[in-house]
Amino acid sequence: MILLPLPRQMEEKEGTLMLGMGTMIVMDASCPHGARVYAGQLKEEIARWAGLTAEIGRGTFRRGDILLKVDASLEEQHYTLNIDGEGAFLCGGSLTALGWAVQTLRQIVRQSAGLLPWVAIDDEPDMKNRGFYHDATRGRIQTLDNMKKLVDTLSFYKMNQLQLYVEHTYLFRDLTELWRDETPMTAEEVLELDQYCYERGVELVPSIATFGHLYKLLKTRSYEHLCELPDSAAEPFGFRARMQHHTVNVSNPDAMALVKDMIVEYMQLFRTNQFNICADETFDLGKGRSQELAKEKGTGRIYMEYIKELFDFLLEKGKRPMFWGDIICGHPELYSQLPKEVICLNWGYGDNQPERETEILHSVGATQYLCPGVRGWNTWVNMIRGGYRNITLMCGYARKHQAVGMLNTDWGDFGHINQPIFSIPGIIYGAVCSWGEKVPEFEELNRQISILEFGDASGELVSCLDKMNSTSVFSWHNAVTIREWAMQGMEKQKIQEEFNREDMSRVPEQNSRIDEIEAELRRISRSMDSTQRRIVECAHVALQVTKVWNRTGAYLAELQKGNHPENGPEIASELERCLHYYQNLWRENSKEGDIVEISKVFCWYADALRK
């Protein structure tokens, strides 16, 4: 039996409980009104996988029923699940913990239909906060319906926090110039999502850029004067520039006033008492308009004074502040000046991510989350193996250094080109690793995810997805960088150096591998539940996009050698055809966001190939 995350204690017994026409999901008198949502989840699971209708009610338990109960004598995050000849008994120390018991039973139903194995489970997580962080700014702004599906996934795997990263993709009422050419989230959508999360035991935490990464805000005519570097509004859009610059000028008090106004407007949409101000990657601090202030005080001190004012402001409003820890790690001697309530988000995304930052923050008494990543940025399909290594490593650091939580990240970088469904294995890795120390090995966990999440009886789907990322030779990062440098008039030699980072002679071999993976994917799809096969089309489009970009890179390599291949127009047409199918998939689950800017990259290369 597959259960993810693995329970702390589980005893499987001889015998089965057969659900039938008279089976009822009974909510005990101890269950608050919100238990109805969890009962509904269980009812839907039984209907889908057992073909039975289990009515929901309150009252007296009868033999063969499923009983839901809240028991205040248990710890808040502790639940038990017992199935025997009398029925199924689910008990949680809180409504949320009862919900986790329901998710465990849902996973059992998914595998055993209406014939439930006898089992006794006693379970609770060893890490209190287990979250997921989705970049809803740099490319992909998912529709409300798709964000609800994300919440359902988090709930199913017992994760209890979600943060959506926002720079310019919320419709601030008075900042029309900020979002006028975007498709931002609205207050009504955020309120609805917050309620949906709350009903499923997931805390929705606001997270907005307040220091660095304010690209769109500081490029507006209204607020360019608050940017650390001058003339920001005159710059054309660039994926690279959006990642590298646009820090507020801390020497101008109007910057702080504007940021506080944004925080006040946004925070009112959330019931949580937490707020993430980000404050990471302030690359330009002290290099422009605040240069004199930095000379007087030092960049470390002016950074601290700015974030401390925001922390004090949030605490006055009854909110517990969070921030990214990359800058403070360079000035650990200043950490004691921060309020003790602050949570430091310690990120690191490498396969062999060093432990040093975690040790530093622990040594200065920081309350921290460890923040790994699902490794989807700048790739058509996530680096699944790298994500597993990074997540398991960072969760190990979290336990060793007494971190209070884990926040698994999914960044957008150059347009958030990976489909959301490809992040699901990484999301589940995070759920499993943060719940307890019992974590299956990579291939075994992939097999379990393939079966449980994607309905793949062969258990091979995730391992097949893992092979896809390594087939990319001419990467999206290469394509974007070369285009933007060329449009900026960068000298040819530097562009060629960037291009030559990859060996384009590998293209025939890798494109041949893509054909093999496509065949493997078709074979696996025959073993999948028909309702889960959407991932097959997503994978097919990603493979074909990878293949045509590889061909584009190979064509450019031939030009560099002085050759003039005749297949440029053919590759251009294939780029445009792949773009069409990619756009269709994008619009199924996301607002327009950056699809226009992504499309421009495809079309720029198609035009170049036809010259």
Average pLDDT in the 575-580 region?
98
Phi-psi region of 105 (alpha: psi -120 to 50; beta: other; left: phi over 0): alpha
Q: Please state the separation of Cα 588 from the chain's center in Å.
A: 18
> Rounded to an integer, what distance in angstroms lies between the CA atom of residue 4 and that of residue 429?
9
Q: What percent of the chain is predicted at pLDDT more than 90?
A: 93
pLDDT for 166-212, tens place per residue?
999 999 999 999 999 999 999 999 999 999 999 999 999 999 999 99
pLDDT of residue 483 exceeding 90, the answer is: yes
For residue 464, the model assigns a pLDDT of 97
Average pLDDT in the 156-172 region?
97
For residue 494, the model assigns a pLDDT of 84
Count the neighbouring beta carbons within 10 Å of the beta carbon of residue 12: 12
Query: DSSP letters of 202-216?
Result: -EEEEEE-SSS--TT
Residue 188, CA distances (Å) to 166, 276, 374 in order: 16, 21, 29
Spatial contact of 427 and 82, defined as CB atoms under 8 Å apart: no
pLDDT of residue 219 exceeding 90, the answer is: yes
Average pLDDT, the chain: 96
Spatial contact of 349 and 324, defined as CB atoms under 8 Å apart: no
Rg (CA), the chain: 26
Give residue 396's pLDDT band: very low, low, confident or very high (50, 70, 90): very high
> Rounded to an integer, what distance in angstroms lies between the CA atom of residue 545 and that of residue 543?
5
Nearest 5°: CA angle at 206, between 137 and 211?
Answer: 65
Nearest alpha-carbon partner for 571 in 541, 610, 518 = 610
Count the neighbouring beta carbons within 10 Å of the beta carbon of residue 519: 10
pLDDT of residue 560 exceeding 90, the answer is: no
SS percent in the chain: helix, strand, coil, step 5: 50, 15, 35
pLDDT of residue 515 exceeding 90, the answer is: yes
pLDDT for 344-362, tens place per residue?
999 999 999 999 999 999 9
Structure tokens at 499: 């291009």
Give residue 607's pLDDT band: very low, low, confident or very high (50, 70, 90): very high
Nearest 5°: CA angle at 222, between 191 and 217?
Answer: 50
For residue 491, the model assigns a pLDDT of 87
Nearest alpha-carbon partner for 37 in 73, 1, 68 = 68
Give residue 233's pLDDT band: very low, low, confident or very high (50, 70, 90): confident
Nearest alpha-carbon partner for 479 in 419, 548, 540, 411 = 548
Report the SS3 class of residue 19. Answer: coil
Q: Where are the alpha helices (DSSP H) in 268-383?
A: 291-297, 299-316, 356-363
Contacts of 133 (CB under 8 A, 6+ apart): 162, 163, 165, 207, 371, 407, 408, 409, 410
Place of tokens 């062969």: 458
- Residue 90 is classified by DSSP as E
- Please state the three-class secondary structure of 480-512 as a single string: HHHHHHHHCCCCHHHHHHHHCCCCHHHHHHHHH
Give residue 234's pLDDT band: very low, low, confident or very high (50, 70, 90): confident
Cite the beta strand spans of 155-214 per DSSP E.
Answer: 161-166, 203-208
Average pLDDT in the 590-608 region?
97
pTM for this one?
Answer: 0.96
Query: DSSP letters of 355-418?
Result: SHHHHHHHHTT-EEEEE-B---TT-SS--HHHHHHHHHHHHHHHHHTT-SEEEEEE--TTT--S
Spatial contact of 402 and 369, defined as CB atoms under 8 Å apart: no
Q: How many CA atoms lie within 13 A of 161 on its CB side?
A: 26
How far the first Cα of the chain sits from its last, in Å, is 59
pLDDT for 258-303, tens place per residue?
999 999 999 999 999 999 999 999 999 999 999 999 999 999 999 9
H or E segment and range at residue 239: helix 239-244
Choice among 95-104, 136-145, 406-415, 556-565 with the minimum mean pLDDT: 556-565
Cite the beta strand spans of 209-342 per DSSP E.
Answer: 274-276, 320-324
For residue 222, the model assigns a pLDDT of 95
pLDDT of residue 611 exceeding 90, the answer is: no
Buried-exposed string 143-154: b where 16+ CB fall within 10 A, e elsewhere: beebbbebbebb
pLDDT of residue 25 exceeding 90, the answer is: yes
pLDDT for 47-83, tens place per residue?
999 999 999 999 899 999 999 999 999 999 999 999 9
121 φ, ψ (degrees, to nearest 5): -120, 135
Phi-psi region of 591 (alpha: psi -120 to 50; beta: other; left: phi over 0): beta
